[in-house]
């Protein structure tokens, strides 16, 4: 048979990057569906004797542990009868309506069951989700977070990239590891680098949960985020956990004065083979309510590391925007994803970010890669440092505060160099493997780990072990910096340690200024109520966004 004659048009389309992405149809039985699975429960609530005795058609005696936790701790029983009596459409209207105050919406939302919330979200199209996010986010001023990692865990690159990330405006920065035993050194690099680039920047090290808590208590990190919750019981059990154990962990952080948020996201349950046929968004709503029930101030969601799953099914990116909205509508901080690769297509990956970018969220990214993606040890972010000028242009094109600021090459090189020098001194004070002048120079001018010579990894790992064994803390870092004449950096690291004594940054959606002042949803509440209200760019901030260094200045011609 003759070969079928092909259309050149279709052959061309098949060569486009989008054709490398995985797309799959919906498959309800295994929960491969973004929103509105026919297996999702039908909303209902029955309350007797001050307890929920039936929720979403499930009787109390049949609750699994997630349902029990949500029923007992995450639903406002006073509000529930009134809120559950409203139609889903009516509640969706209120979320979008600029005449209904945010606080009225959060009250109603806290009286709803998981199935009801999932259905309310299904009433909203993407433009309405953006409008609702603008009104419902907790803190008025938007922000953003970076990933700072290295494929070789190179401490000098990490300290320099952390300094640059802070300079570029990320209010929080997160690291993780290529080799897990490097973790304390990575945390140390971020702690110092962040305070060089923009004092007050919060840093964390995403790792095994007990370890995260330990290095937080030692003052090597300022917050934590990777405390994961799941929508079905089996996935929780697979991780040896329950909602109660996670709540206990949350209280450990609070009692030590450390900021923290939970992490969840659509697609994790089906990814782990235990979605029970429920839609990704319904299961995610359970996670969000578990977070609320545990008394945690915020949540990182927006599918996160499972984004390939909702990203592959119809309406998946809408579901992701909806899960961010549910988080803020339940009056919590959201770190809204955009932190993981999910598409080969530049068009798709840009579009994926625009709902959070246009609306503004507490952290638009919960990891914009502050390094090239080849160094991103979260397996790649949706945007990386090589996209940064595109991002700055988008802020300027749309007059949007996306949390970043244009920087000059000179100031960037300067903070990278200073951070690397400070770490060099601290390594010497601690008796760690020396950082050479050549390494400092390479890290100062590098783009990624390919531009710096490899370190002796086993020797570095011994130093990491020593750091843990000798009980080195943030205070020791302060002392080492001060001893070597880096008094200004020492003061700022100390300022971060003091945060956990005052505890102000435990408030919802907190960030810290360069002088140690804390802004949060308490003193910067979102008061959006239509055009010309809510967050407005200050003239200074707009000047900053406008002035991308590579724009032609009319006065120069």
Binds other proteins (CB under 8 A): choice among 193, 197, 311, 448: 311
CB of 103 to other proteins, least distance (A): 39
Name the DSSP class of 113: -
Distance (Å, rounded) from C-alpha 269 to C-alpha 278? 9
Beta carbon nearer to other proteins, 116 or 352: 352
- Does 180 contact other proteins by CB under 8 A? yes
CA distance 303 to 334: 12
Regarding 13 and contact with other proteins (CB under 8 A), the answer is: no
The answer to whether 468 contacts other proteins (rule: CB under 8 A) is no
Our finding on whether 38 is near other proteins (CB under 8 A) is: no
Q: Which stretch binds other proteins (CB under 8 A): 16-24, 83-91, 157-165, 478-486?
A: 16-24
Q: In the set 457, 482, 495, 529, which binds other proteins (CB under 8 A)? A: 457
**CB-hemisphere CA count at 13 Å for 133?**
32
Binding test (CB under 8 A) with other proteins, winner from 46, 100, 128, 211:
211
**Shortest Cβ distance from residue 190 to other proteins (Å)?**
19
Tokens of 203: 């840093």
Beta-bridge partner residues of 227:
262
Q: Annotated catalytic, 271? A: no
At residue 287, the 3 state secondary structure works out as helix
The residue from 40, 56, 174, 269 that is catalytic is 174
The SS3 call for residue 26 is coil
Pick from 242, 213, 509: nearest CA to 360: 509
Q: Judging by DSSP bridges, how do beta strands 298-300 and 58-59 pair with one another? A: unpaired
For 198, how many CA atoms within 13 A lie in the half-sphere containing its CB?
22
Site string for other proteins, 357-396 (x = CB under 8 A): ----------------xxxxx-xxx--x------------
17 or 431: CB nearest other proteins: 17
- Kindly state whether residue 42 participates in binding other proteins, applying the rule CB under 8 A: no
Residue selected from 291, 336, 341, 499 as contacting other proteins according to rule CB under 8 A: 341
- Residue 224 sits in the site that holds other proteins (CB under 8 A): no
Distance CA 416, CA 443 (A): 7
Catalytic residue among 40, 269, 339, 504: 339
Q: By rule CB under 8 A, what count of residues binds other proteins?
A: 55
In whole angstroms, give the CA distance from residue 124 to residue 133. Answer: 11
Name the residue nearer to other proteins (CB basis): 380 or 503.
Answer: 380
339 is catalytic: yes
Dist CA 363 CA 340 (whole Å): 14
User: Is residue 346 among the annotated active site residues?
Assistant: no
Of the candidate spans 6-14, 238-246, 291-299, 548-556, the one that interacts with other proteins by CB under 8 A turns out to be 238-246
Q: Which helix (H) or strand (E) holds 59?
A: strand 58-59
Number of helices (H), then strands (E), belonging to the chain: the values are 23, 13
What is the end-to-end Cα distance of the chain in Å, rounded? Answer: 66
Q: Is 362 a catalytic residue?
A: no
Q: CA 366 to CA 337: how far, in whole Å?
A: 5
C-alpha distances (whole Å) from 338 to each of 24, 136, 306, 356, 507 are 21, 19, 12, 9, 24
Nearer CB in complex with other proteins: 32/220: 32
φ, ψ (nearest 5 deg) of residue 208: -55, 140
Is 395 annotated in the active site?
no
* Min dist. Cβ of residue 458 to other proteins (A): 5
Side-chain half-sphere exposure of 294, counting CA atoms within 13 A: 31
- Residue from 14, 29, 90, 411 binding other proteins (CB under 8 A): 29
Does residue 462 interact with other proteins by CB under 8 A? Answer: yes
Q: Does 308 bind other proteins (CB under 8 A)?
A: yes
Work out how close the CB of 283 gets to other proteins at its nearest, in angstroms, rounded to a whole number: 14
Catalytic, out of 356, 366, 381, 509: 366
Q: Is 208 in the site for other proteins (CB under 8 A)?
A: yes
The minimum distance between CB 271 and other proteins, in angstroms, equals 4
Q: Using an 8 Å Cβ cutoff, are 291 and 262 in contact?
A: yes
The Cα diameter of the chain in Å comes to 82
Neighbours of 525 (CB within 10 A): 15
| Local structure of 74: helix, strand or coil | coil
In whole angstroms, how close is the CB of 409 to other proteins at the nearest point?
Answer: 25
Residues with catalytic annotation?
145, 147, 174, 225, 300, 339, 366
Interface residue list for other proteins (CB under 8 A):
20-25, 27, 29-30, 32, 151-152, 178-181, 207-211, 238-240, 267, 270-274, 305-309, 311-312, 340-344, 373-377, 379-381, 384, 457-458, 461-462
């Amino acid at each position: 048979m003759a070969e079928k004659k092909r259309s050149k048009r279709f052959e061309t389309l098949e060569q486009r990057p989008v054709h490398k992405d995985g797309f799959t149809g919906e498959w309800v039985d295994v929960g491969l569906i973004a929103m509105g699975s026919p297996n999702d429960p039908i909303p209902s609530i029955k309350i007797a004797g001050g307890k929920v005795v039936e929720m979403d058609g499930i009787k109390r005696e049949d609750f699994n542990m997630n349902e029990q936790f949500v029923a007992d701790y995450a639903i406002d029983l006073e509000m529930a009868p009134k809120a559950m009596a409203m139609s889903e459409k009516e509640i969706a209207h209120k979320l979008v309506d600029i005449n209904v105050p945010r606080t009225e919406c959060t009250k109603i939302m806290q009286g709803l069951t998981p199935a009801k919330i999932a259905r309310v979200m299904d009433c909203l199209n993407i433009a309405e989700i953006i409008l609702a996010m603008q009104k419902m986010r907790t803190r008025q001023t938007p922000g953003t977070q970076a990933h700072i990692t290295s494929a070789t865990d190179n401490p000098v690159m990490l300290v320099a990239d952390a300094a640059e990330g802070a300079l570029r405006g990320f209010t929080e920065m997160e690291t993780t590891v290529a080799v897990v035993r490097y973790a304390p050194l990575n945390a140390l690099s971020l702690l110092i680098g962040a305070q060089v680039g923009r004092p007050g920047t919060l840093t964390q090290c995403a790792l095994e949960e007990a370890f995260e808590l330990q290095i937080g208590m030692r003052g090597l990190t300022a917050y934590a985020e990777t405390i994961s919750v799941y929508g079905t019981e089996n996935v929780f059990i697979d991780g040896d956990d329950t909602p109660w154990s996670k709540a206990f962990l949350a209280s450990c952080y609070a009692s030590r004065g450390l900021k923290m948020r939970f992490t969840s996201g659509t697609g994790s349950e089906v990814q782990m083979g235990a979605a029970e046929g429920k839609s990704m968004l319904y299961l995610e709503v359970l996670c969000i309510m578990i977070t609320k029930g545990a008394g945690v101030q915020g949540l990182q969601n927006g599918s996160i590391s499972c984004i390939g799953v909702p990203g592959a099914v119809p309406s998946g990116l809408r579901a992701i925007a909806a899960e961010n909205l549910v988080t803020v509508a339940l009056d919590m901080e959201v770190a809204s994803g955009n932190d993981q690769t999910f598409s080969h297509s530049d068009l798709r990956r840009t579009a994926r970010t625009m709902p959070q970018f246009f609306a503004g969220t507490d952290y638009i990214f919960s990891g914009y890669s502050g390094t090239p993606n080849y160094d991103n040890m979260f397996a790649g972010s949706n945007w990386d440092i090589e996209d940064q000028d595109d991002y700055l242009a988008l802020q300027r094109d749309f007059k949007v505060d996306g949390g970043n600021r244009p920087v000059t090459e000179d100031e960037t090189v300067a903070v990278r160099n200073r951070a690397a020098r400070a770490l060099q001194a601290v390594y010497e004070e601690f008796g760690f493997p020396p950082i050479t002048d050549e390494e400092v120079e390479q890290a100062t001018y590098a783009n990624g780990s390919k531009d710096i010579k490899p370190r002796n990894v086993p020797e570095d790992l011994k130093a990491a072990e020593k750091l843990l064994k000798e009980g080195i803390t943030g205070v020791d870092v302060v002392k080492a910096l001060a001893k070597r004449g880096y008094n200004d950096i020492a003061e700022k690291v100390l300022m971060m340690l003091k945060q956990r004594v005052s505890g102000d940054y435990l408030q919802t959606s907190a960030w810290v200024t360069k002088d140690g002042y804390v802004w949060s949803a308490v003193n910067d509440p979102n008061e959006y109520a239509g055009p010309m209200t809510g967050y407005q760019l200050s003239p200074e901030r707009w000047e900053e966004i406008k002035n991308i260094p590579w724009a032609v200045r009319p006065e120069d011609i």
